Amino acid sequence: MEAYLPYILCVGLFAIGLYAIAVKKNLIKIIIGIILIHHSTNLFLVLVGFRLPENGSPLAPVKPAPHEQISKAEFLARSVDPVPQALMLTSIVIGLSITALIVVIAIRLHEKYGTYDLTKIRELRG
């Protein structure tokens, strides 16, 4: 059960974001919920690549500093999986583009209706 604790954290973040999208009426809070869901998914997929080696502490898959003498075999035995981290970089950039587009739409809605409240935006005519 303790091994799955990071994944439970990611599911909890996802649930908080889903609550924000479904319940809140302010548009900015809904946008924050969308961002929270995206970040929780990224965190989950990065945490899947983690592993605990038998001897030694886990290493990040980057070039070691010159003052640390780590041989190649030891590095291969101790480092975590670098593939999910590289793929999540592209996912973070996609999240940036989605956020920019949604925030511009929210700004335009505010200019047109004068409020961020979703219940009032449905009532007013254009």
Partner 1 sequence: MRGMTLIVKTTAGVLLGFIALFGLHVVVTGHIEPGGGFAGGVILAAGLLLMVLAFGADEMRERLGERLAVIWESVGAIGFLVVALLGFIAGAFFSNFLPRATGFELFAGGSIPFADIAIALNVGAGLFGAFLMLAAYRTARGKDQTEGRGE
The Cα–Cα gap between 126 and 111 comes to: 11
The Cα–Cα gap between 55 and 6 comes to: 22
**Chosen residue from 12, 25, 52, 108 binding partner 1 by CB under 8 A:** 108
Size of the site for partner 1 (CB under 8 A): 16
Contact status, residue 78 vs residue 53, Cβ threshold 8 Å: yes
The Cα–Cα gap between 114 and 94 comes to: 29
**Chosen residue from 15, 77, 100, 124 binding partner 1 by CB under 8 A:** 100
Task: Tell me, residue by residue from 28 to 67, as one string, x for binding to partner 1 by CB under 8 A and - for no binding.
Answer: ----------------------------------xx----
| Rounded least distance, CB 8 to partner 1, Å | 26
**Chosen residue from 66, 90, 119, 126 binding partner 1 by CB under 8 A:** 90
The Cα–Cα gap between 90 and 96 comes to: 10
Q: DSSP code of 4?
A: G
Q: What is the contact surface with partner 1 in residues (CB under 8 A)?
A: 62-63, 72, 85-86, 89-90, 92-93, 96-97, 100, 104, 107-108, 111
